[in-house]
Every structure is written in C-alpha cells, then in structure tokens.
Chain A
Amino acid sequence: MGTTDDGEGLVIAGEEIGSRLIMGTGGAPSMHVLREALTASGTALTTVAMRRVDASARGSVLDVLAECGIRVLPNTAGCFTAGEAVLTAKLAREALGTHWVKLEVIADERTLLPDPIELVEAAEQLVADGFAVLPYTSDDPVLARRLEQIGCAAVMPLGSPIGSGLGIRNPHNIELIVERAGVPVILDAGVGTASDAALAMELGCDAVLLATAVTRAQSPARMAAAMRHAVEAGRLARLAGRIPKRRYAQASSPFEGLATS
C-alpha cells in the first residue's frame, strides 16, 4: 500500500487528466496573477467562457493556458436556455478544437443555480452531437443519475452557489451521488477555502473544480497551492479509510502498567 495516490488517475471520457484540481479562470485581476495561480495549483484542465470578441481586449486567456500546457475546458456560463447553451458549446468546439464542454444552464442571475429542465435538454442534444458533456448540476442525486444515463462524461454537483464560498451545504447528497455514480463526480462551485476542497475529496468526489476561491483570494497563488494540497490530502484520506465516529472516547494509551500511589 503506497503512501501516495493509488496510481489510478482521473479519467474523463477515456482520457487521463493529470490533476484532480480543475481550475476556472474567472475573477483573476490580471493574466499575470492568473498564470501564477494556475502554475501553483498544478491543474491540468481549466475552464474558459465564450463571449463576443472584443477588439480592445489585451492578452488572451488561451495564450496563458497554452504557455502553461493546460488543457482548455470551455463552458456555457451565462446561458439560460438549452438552445443558447448548445449554440455556445458548438461555437466553443469550433473556436477551440475541443469536443469537451462544461455545460452550464442557469435559472437566474441571483442564485446562478442550474435549471434542471433546460440542463437535461441541452445535455441530450450535445451528447447526441458527440460532445463529452460535463454538466454543472445541483446536488440532487436523482438529477445526477439522469445526467449519467443520458451519457454525460462526468457529473459536477455544486457544493453551494457559484462564488458564494459557502462550502458543501449538503455533504449527505454529495455522498449519495458518489455512491451511485459510474462516471467521475466533480464537486463544482461553492468552495471557499482549502478545507472545503479536502472535504469534497473525503466524501469520495473524483475531483474539485473551483475558481473564485483562488482568483479572488488575497494571495491567489498561495490559495492555489493550498487547494492543490487539500485535494491531495482529501484524496489520500478517502483512500486511507477514516476511523468511524464514536460517541465516547477510546484511549490510545494502554491502561495497564500505570504507576500507582
């Protein structure tokens, strides 16, 4: 038994991804800060959004990812309907040359929670069109199972709303999803600090996707390193098998042979 990971890497849609920490790029104050954070995170897969070209934009996030040797994962952030998400995914495939997509179909701007009806509709269309679909979903175990049955390459339940930093509000549901899943489970959204990422892995998630917790931290590169260690620590703890929780103490020193007065 090794003292590191068991050698089974993260495999999504038949391809091995070299890190269980998937990063987002949103919120970084500059490309320089983003580059430092991505490097410190050790990530091998990182999301970008698709938007109308802006001739005044300086520096490309694609250049940063290419320099760092990080695979790009386009998302459909900002889409409210299946139709918008499918078109955005197809544009991303054409622009970036990848058939992988982080599928986001949100219900409203206040909560940014997934719209499950539109999400399933978009997932069905994209899977049928040959995409490897990684859907951002609620922490509903039934919805996660339906997304897997449709043919999604992973399921990505939220811990709490995007950017909220509230951590994992329903660890029980995440465990239920993990128990039944036949595809990788990636905890997506809500991570606020390193212990949240560690908990996700302890619950049995295969990976963690986060952005804001790093990019808006006071020291993004330092927090990125913390997340890298947290994901590794949580993964090791999961593999190691934690002790059961007990109601009363269990002495770790023997009672025999005590000095008596």
Chain B
Amino acid sequence: MRVIVNGKPRELPDGASVAEAVAAVTTAASGVAAAVNDEVVRRSAWAATELREADRVEVLTAVQGG
C-alpha cells in the first residue's frame, strides 16, 4: 500500500504499522513523535497501530530554532 510519510509517498506492506513508517525515515530511539492524519500516535502505540492506504504520517523531531 502507499502512504505519505513526511510529505513523500512510500510503499509499505499492507497492514504496516506506524512503527514501520517511522523506521523508514529515522533510526532515532528517542526525541521523535508521530502523527497519522493530524492525530498524535503515542510511541507506546506505534507497533499496534496499523496504517491504511493513503494515510498521512508525520514524523517530527527537535531542531535548532526559536
């Protein structure tokens, strides 16, 4: 299936989890948060939360700013 991760389309296996989408863009073990279709998914729920076709996943971290 095709999902949008940080604005770019990605092919992931059907039923892939948020954890798999996050792993596709970062290996960071902490300091990262994810949202699916504008709703935050807690890290503890990443592995159990399945994605659906065309879901929009945002994976953010802290950068220099402000």
| Cβ contacts under 8 Å, A142 to chain B | none
- The number of chain B residues touching the other chain, given as a range, is 20 to 34
Nearest CB to that of A53 among chain B residues?
A: B26
Q: Is A183 an interface residue (CB 8 A)?
A: no
- Nearest CB on B from A20, distance (A): 17
Q: Does A211 contact B (CB under 8 A)?
A: yes
Q: Is the CB of B63 within 8 A of A95?
A: no
Of B32, B42, B63, the most chain A CB neighbours within 10 A belong to B63
Task: Give chain A's interface residue range (CB within 8 Å of chain B).
Answer: 35 or more
A78 to chain B, nearest CB (A): 8
Q: Which A residue's beta carbon lies closest to that of B8?
A: A52
Complex interface: chain B residues within 8 A of A94 (CB)? 33-34, 40, 42-43
CB distance from A137 to the nearest CB of B (A): 15
Give chain B residues whose Cβ lies under 8 Å from the Cβ of A57.
63
Asked if residues A52 and B59 are in contact (CB atoms below 8 Å), the reply is yes
CB-CB under 8 A from B31, the residues of chain A are 60, 62, 95-96
A104 to B66, CA, bound (A): 10
**Chain B residues, Cβ within 8 Å of A181:** none
The 8 A CB mask of B29-49 against A (1 = contact, 0 = none) is 001111100101011000000
Q: Is the CB of B62 within 8 A of A62?
A: yes
Q: What 1/0 flags go to A66-98 for Cβ under 8 Å of B? A: 000000111101000001000110111111100
Q: Is A116 an interface residue (CB 8 A)?
A: no
Query: What residues on B are CB-neighbors of A51 within 8 Å?
Result: 60-61, 63, 65
Q: Given A53-B26, A55-B26, A90-B40 in contact, is the A77-B66 Cβ separation under 8 Å?
A: yes
Choose from B40, B42, B62 the contact partner of A49 (Cβ within 8 Å).
Answer: B62
B25 cross-chain contacts in A, Cβ below 8 A = 52-53, 55
CA distance A34 to B64 in the complex (A): 9
Q: Decide yes or no whether A26 CB sits under 8 A from chain B.
A: yes
Known A-B contacts A52-B60, A53-B32, A53-B59; A24 and B40 likewise in contact (beta carbons under 8 Å): no
Nearest CB in chain A: distance from B22 CB, A: 8
Q: Within the complex, what minimum Cβ distance (angstroms) separates B25 from chain A? A: 5
CB within 8 Å of B: which of A10-54? 24-28, 34, 47-54
CB-based closest 5 A-B pairs = A49-B65, A47-B66, A95-B33, A94-B33, A24-B66
Additional A-B contact list (9), CB under 8 Å, known A27-B64, A77-B65, A91-B58: A25-B65, A50-B33, A51-B60, A53-B60, A61-B64, A88-B60, A90-B40, A95-B60, A96-B62
- Contacts A/B (CB < 8 Å), 21 sampled: A47-B66, A48-B66, A49-B62, A51-B65, A52-B58, A52-B59, A53-B25, A55-B25, A61-B62, A61-B64, A73-B66, A87-B38, A88-B60, A90-B35, A91-B33, A91-B60, A92-B60, A94-B34, A94-B42, A95-B62, A96-B31
